[in-house]
């Protein structure tokens, strides 16, 4: 049993994959709490797809994919802010326009490459087994930046998410906090590129946090539980990938989804079973 657990990680690329997957799982899940609470899932998904042209450009020009993705994510994040600033275009409309345009641009660029299908698959669905030592350093650095910012600005993120009016009265600019959140979201998507890819990063942002919201009552607990679920999902996904020879990114997301289904059915008070049992008790009390 011990060997079964440790065997995969005697290989250097598997060790790197493990560290990268754990980092991404934790960062996505923690930041994802705000994505879920603020109903920003659409923005996260759109931003993830919109970094494709940056990745494609980096791939063709031969510089770091992460750097390309980072630049594209920041450009798109600020583009959305710019289009909606005047108030004539709604945010979801702006997101929709930029998201589709950037995705198309990315696909056009990638389709000029000979190994189109394989490359696109790696970008869309991740290639955690191909994480290099330098990638890992950058991933770890960005993960620390995101987590440290979330901890440091806990109070500001909380009040802007819960009551933007109070935030403004208290001298905390919701616009500034939102911009910081967008940058963190961009960084998170960039490091997720390697493990789950642009197609599935939204799931890692939303699913563990939504699971944690069913199990907890306060934001700090929600973040902690979400981080644990994200890390466990990454671990389980990697094992599945190694032993069953399936795509690692998709396996990670499926593991996270399994946790969500368990919580959705069995969670105390908020789970399907609990609510169902209470409904039955109530109706039998009425009839009895």
Partner 1 sequence: MTRVAHGLGFQLRDVNVNYDGHVALERVSLSVSAGAQVAVVGPNGAGKSTLFKALAGLLPLRSGRIDLDGGPQQLRLAYVPQREEIDWRFPVTSLDVVLMGRYGRLGWIRRAQAADKQAALASLERLGMRPLAGRPLAELSGGQQQRVFLARALAQEPNLLLLDEPFTGVDVSVRTSTLEVLDSLRAEGVTVLLSTHDLNLASERFQQVLLLNRKVIAFGAPDEVITAESVAQAFGVQALFVDGAIIIDQCCPPPES
Q: In whole angstroms, what is the distance from residue 244 CA to residue 256 CA?
A: 17
All residues at 6 or more sequence positions from 98 whose CB lies less than 8 Å from its CB, including other chains: 46, 50, 76, 79, 80, 83
Closest CA to 74 of 110, 98, 105, 41: 98
The nearer residue to partner 1, 63 or 162, going by C-beta atoms, is 162
The nearer residue to partner 1, 3 or 217, going by C-beta atoms, is 217
The nearer residue to partner 1, 81 or 174, going by C-beta atoms, is 174
The nearer residue to partner 1, 216 or 257, going by C-beta atoms, is 216
Please report, for residues 59, 134, 196, 267, 277, the alpha-carbon distance to residue 127 in angstroms, rounded to integers and kept in the order given.
Answer: 14, 15, 7, 33, 44
Minimum separation from the CB atom of position 120 to partner 1 (A): 39
Minimum separation from the CB atom of position 270 to partner 1 (A): 10
Task: Answer whether 103's CB lies under 8 Å from 50's CB.
Answer: yes
Minimum separation from the CB atom of position 254 to partner 1 (A): 26
Minimum separation from the CB atom of position 213 to partner 1 (A): 7
Minimum separation from the CB atom of position 87 to partner 1 (A): 9
Task: Answer whether 135's CB lies under 8 Å from 84's CB.
Answer: no
The nearer residue to partner 1, 41 or 113, going by C-beta atoms, is 41
The nearer residue to partner 1, 100 or 166, going by C-beta atoms, is 166
**Tokens coding 185:** 């979201």
Site residues, partner 1 (CB under 8 A):
37, 152-153, 155-156, 158-159, 161-163, 165-172, 213, 216-219, 221-222
Closest CA to 30 of 130, 166, 144: 144
**Tokens coding 162:** 């819960």
The nearer residue to partner 1, 51 or 209, going by C-beta atoms, is 209
H helix intervals, 86-244? 91-110, 116-125, 133-152, 154-162, 164-169, 174-192, 197-215, 219-244
Cβ neighbours of 176 (radius 10 Å) = 12
Minimum separation from the CB atom of position 165 to partner 1 (A): 6
Minimum separation from the CB atom of position 175 to partner 1 (A): 12
């Amino acid at each position: 049993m011990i060997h079964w657990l440790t065997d995969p990680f005697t290989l250097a690329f598997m060790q790197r994959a493990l560290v990268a997957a754990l980092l991404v799982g934790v960062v996505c899940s923690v930041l994802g709490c705000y994505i879920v609470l603020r109903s920003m899932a659409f923005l996260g998904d759109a931003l993830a797809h919109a970094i494709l042209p940056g990745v494609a450009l980096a791939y063709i020009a031969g510089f770091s994919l992460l750097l390309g993705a980072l630049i594209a994510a920041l450009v798109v994040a600020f583009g959305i802010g710019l289009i909606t600033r005047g108030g004539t275009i709604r945010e979801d409309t702006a997101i929709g326009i930029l998201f589709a345009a950037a995705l198309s641009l990315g696909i056009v660029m990638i389709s000029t490459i000979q190994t189109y299908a394989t490359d696109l698959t790696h970008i869309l669905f991740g290639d955690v087994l191909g994480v290099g030592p330098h990638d890992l350093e950058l991933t770890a650095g960005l993960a620390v930046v995101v987590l440290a910012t979330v901890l440091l600005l806990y109070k500001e993120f909380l009040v802007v998410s819960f009551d933007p009016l109070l935030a403004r009265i208290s001298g905390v600019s919701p616009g500034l906090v939102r911009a910081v959140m967008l940058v963190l979201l961009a960084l998170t998507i960039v490091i997720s590129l390697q493990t789950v890819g642009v197609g599935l990063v939204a799931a890692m942002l939303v699913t563990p946090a939504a699971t944690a919201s069913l199990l907890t009552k306060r934001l700090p607990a929600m973040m902690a539980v979400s981080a644990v679920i994200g890390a466990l999902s990454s671990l389980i996904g990697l094992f599945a990938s190694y032993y069953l020879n399936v795509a690692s990114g998709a396996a990670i997301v499926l593991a996270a989804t399994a946790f969500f289904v368990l919580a959705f059915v069995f969670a105390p008070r908020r789970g399907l079973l609990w609510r169902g049992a209470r409904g039955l008790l109530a109706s039998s009390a009425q009839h009895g």
